[in-house]
Structure 1
Amino acid sequence: MDRLFIQAKPIIHRLKEAGYEAYYVGGAVRDYILKREIHDIDIATSATPMEVKSIFSSTVDVGIEHGTILVIHEGRGYEVTTFRAEARYVDFRRPESVSFIRSLKDDLRRRDFTINAMAMDEEGIIKDPFNGREAIEKRCIKTVGSATERFGEDALRLMRAIRFVSQLGFKLDSRTEEALIQQAPLLQNIAIERILLEMEKLLKGKKVKRALKIARKSKLNHYWPAIFNQDYIIDQLIEMPIEELTLMERWLLALYLEKAEEPQKQLKKWKMPTKEIKKLQRALSFLTWRMKNKWTNVQLYRAGKEIAGMVEKVVCVLQDKSPHLVTAIIYEQFAEFPITDRSQLAITGTDVLKWTQKAPGAWISQLLNQLEEEILNQRIPNEREMIRGWVKAWENPSSNKYSKH
């Protein structure tokens, strides 16, 4: 049994000693069967939230209205949720109300897919009333009960279905796929932030092309906010060797294919964090330049190791080449540079002001930019006294070999 299950065992024991049922549930059980890395342990129990709180001394009410209590054990938090049944869904995302029950089977019945509707006791015995293990063996994503009802209850499950296709390399059960095609418009009711979380997991998956094909076929992508909602983008992506690209590189490639005049606006439609938007904008600028030019030392330096690596991998994919090892080559070039960022200069802007006795201004940045180029092109060494002489010469271009232009 995985160490994370073992670490959580005392919680199961305490609940059982108090007379309640308790099981590991959800993705951890699925991943245990699949021999995938387990990240979080969730526990389901017949004990009500108040009964859970009475058993454990350290708890946090993280979602008590939905039956979830965070139990702190040896410095780690575990979500313990009461078996529950759900009333009708009113917003295609959450039930109108939940009621606490004592039946494990009825609790598992409300879950999305059979692969996620299994439980395991502390001895490793699997409870599988909806044949999730069989679905795993068949490598199949199948809803618990009616697919139309499950997607109608929570439209985010439309994204989760194809996300699992990408992550696990499974296929959709035929009835599940039929319902996904019919219910695709329901995705309009889901917050963009939630769609983005699923989209990024989908884009990170090893079978991302398979998932994108389903999104295209079902027209689910038409309800995404930007970029991937264009069929021609998906059509191109699934023909390219994108398997070795990272999440951000896949976003970058899609942005380039779209040729949007204002990529920032497109990414903002996805409610992407500002830091990531700026990074992708910068990478797109260098990618557009790189598709028409070969790297120079200066451009490589300006891009920086990370952005240059991203760009070069995407260039390979656009040229139908494998990006395997290309970042290593870029990194080797960086290793030969006398400096890899401005902080490595032997002088600072303060030194320049002191030597020139001039007022601060934009000219300092211009000078440092030119200095970096001189050092990168090995026209002067990165040594303080040599640079001091170069600065003095830069001040008087008419009387020496250095020029400001």
Structure 2
Amino acid sequence: MQINSLPSEFKTARPILQTIEGAGFEAYFVGGSVRDTILKDPIHDVDIATSAYPSEVKALFHKTVDTGIKHGTVMILDHHHKYEVTTFRTESGYQDFRRPDKVTFVRSLSEDLKRRDFTVNALALKEDGTVVDLFSGLNDLAQHVLRAVGSPEERFHEDALRMMRAVRFASKLDFTIEKQTEAAIQHHAKLLQKIAVERIRVEFEKMMMGQNPLKGVRYFLETGLYAYCPRLNGQKKALSRMLGLNASLQLANETQVWLFVCRILGLSAQACPTFLKAWKTSNDLNQAVKAGLTFLEALDNQTVNAHLLFQTGERYLKEALTVQKIFDVSFDPDQYLVAYKKLPIKSSKELAINGRDLITTHLVTPGPDLGRVLTALQEGVLNGTYQNQSSELISAAKTMLTNKEESD
């Protein structure tokens, strides 16, 4: 196969390959960028593989960084671009079911490609646009099939994370997993316990944000991978609810993914932090999901008010409304977006007075009363009791403090 019009990312990197080839070595674009180019999808990272050993690569370029020299990877810095160039290699050992115990540099492209995960990722591209296909990856691309390179049993035993990559690619590419490959995932699913949660989480999130996430979810459930993910064992029935939702399901970011998953599992805003902590998600994401769930619970109970809209904030509100629309296609989020936009203030910083104003007017001294008054004024502005004007708020504060003194 010949690609006549290379993406700009490849055109920019062609001089790197030409320099390596000019020195008598082989060099190719490899991996997902080649696959996505053939599928006419946007490409991201440009990876280069070569028969040149790391020391030989470094001798050809002025600026290099030893990013992964132990495994044969050298980063080349060229005109504000960074390219990772990796020597052809074989791997062996894999005692931790993730990383090879031994890496051996080789001169053979075939030896390098046969250690890769799936045939559609084992394609190489010459700088002139010629595709090198040693494992029928082009045919699998045409058939929209995901197939392990060589023995799927060996590939997954070498690196158990490849099983999650399989269900992720099924979703991302909308491909069908070939039967023997799927059977091998089912057979080795338990090995997922050997993989770091952070690695699993990244693949899971990408699966949920693919073009056909329900296909990925189906494989995730049918192969049993779910049972070896944090707090999902025993949740097949709940997770299967996803398969009955709108087939056009699309999630745009990690917040939507975890908000959606928590709703599927029936987790409350109070219970979600424990679940998310098991997945080692960030504090910012945990806060976003908790805020979204709090809003959705109020939506369920028909108790949404100005205070809740204010506390949720526009960003989290939009994420929650997007997820609600997935569960209820007839749901109209506009009324809540309009209500939010009509709020007199959208953050505490927009309140017409602050603590310093109350202190300098000698209404109150620093302490608990200051916080209580500001909170009461904020609530009063939100519910329409007060206009957000400094004179009116100062007067309201005086009244509050006078009443407090009298009651004391």
Q: TM-score, normalised by structure 2?
A: 0.92
Report the CA distance shift for 1:356/1:313 in structure 2 as closer, same or farther (over 3 A). Answer: farther
8 Å Cα contact 2:255/2:288 also seen in 1: no
1:10-89 correspondence runs (5 A): 10-89=15-94
The corresponding residue for 1:213 is 218
Q: Which whole-Å CA distance do the structure 2 matches of 1:275 and 1:42 have between them?
A: 32
Q: 2:329 aligns with which of 296, 321, 329?
A: 321
Report the CA distance shift for 1:55/1:170 in structure 2 as closer, same or farther (over 3 A). Answer: same
Q: Which whole-Å CA distance do the structure 2 matches of 1:245 and 1:105 have between them?
A: 38
Moved more, 159-168 or 363-372: 363-372
Moved more, 296-305 or 18-27: 296-305
Report the CA distance shift for 1:322/1:251 in structure 2 as closer, same or farther (over 3 A). Answer: farther
Q: 2:179 aligns with which of 174, 199, 213?
A: 174
Structure 1: 4+ residue segments shifted above 6 A: none
Moved more, 33-42 or 344-353: 344-353
Pairwise CA distance, 1:297: 1.9
The corresponding residue for 1:147 is 152
Does structure 1 residue 256 correspond to structure 2 residue 269? no
Moved more, 249-258 or 137-146: 249-258
8 Å Cα contact 2:20/2:27 also seen in 1: yes
Pairwise CA distance, 1:212: 1.1
Q: 2:369 aligns with which of 363, 377, 380?
A: 363
The corresponding residue for 1:94 is 99
Q: 2:194 aligns with which of 186, 189, 203?
A: 189
1:343-354 correspondence runs (5 A): 343-354=349-360
Count of residue pairs the alignment pairs up = 398
Pairwise CA distance, 1:283: 2.2
8 Å Cα contact 2:210/2:250 also seen in 1: no
Which amino acid in structure 2 is aligned with residue 220 of structure 1?
Answer: L
Q: Deviations over 1:219-256 (max 9, x none)?
A: 11000012476112211122123714433223113223
Q: TM-score, normalised by structure 1?
A: 0.92
Pairwise CA distance, 1:305: 0.9
Q: 2:399 aligns with which of 387, 393, 401?
A: 393
8 Å Cα contact 1:167/1:207 also seen in 2: yes
Q: Deviations over 1:126-163 (max 9, x none)?
A: 11111111111101100111111111111000000000
Report the CA distance shift for 1:157/1:131 in structure 2 as closer, same or farther (over 3 A). Answer: same
Pairwise CA distance, 1:294: 4.2
Moved more, 390-399 or 375-384: 390-399
SS in 2 for 1:291: helix
Q: 1:278 aligns with which of 266, 278, 287?
A: 287
Q: 2:308 aligns with which of 276, 299, 307?
A: 299
Q: Which whole-Å CA distance do the structure 1 matches of 2:105 and 2:405 have between them?
A: 87
Residue ranges of structure 1 left out of the alignment (5+ in a row): none
Pairwise CA distance, 1:399: 11
Computed over aligned residues only, the root mean square deviation of the Cα atoms, in angstroms, reads 2.1
8 Å Cα contact 1:227/1:254 also seen in 2: no
8 Å Cα contact 1:227/1:266 also seen in 2: no
Which amino acid in structure 1 is aligned with residue 32 of structure 2?
Answer: G
Q: Deviations over 1:102-137 (max 9, x none)?
A: 111221111000000001111111111111111111
Report the CA distance shift for 1:233/1:250 in structure 2 as closer, same or farther (over 3 A). Answer: farther
Does structure 1 residue 122 correspond to structure 2 residue 108? no
Moved more, 112-121 or 307-316: 307-316
Q: Which whole-Å CA distance do the structure 1 matches of 2:354 and 2:338 have between them?
A: 27
Report the CA distance shift for 1:378/1:231 in structure 2 as closer, same or farther (over 3 A). Answer: same
Does structure 1 residue 164 correspond to structure 2 residue 155? no
Residue ranges of structure 2 left out of the alignment (5+ in a row): 1-5
Q: 2:339 aligns with which of 333, 339, 360?
A: 333
Q: Which whole-Å CA distance do the structure 2 matches of 1:229 and 1:108 have between them?
A: 38
Does structure 1 residue 383 correspond to structure 2 residue 389? yes
Report the CA distance shift for 1:129/1:398 in structure 2 as closer, same or farther (over 3 A). Answer: closer
Q: 2:236 aligns with which of 220, 225, 231?
A: 231
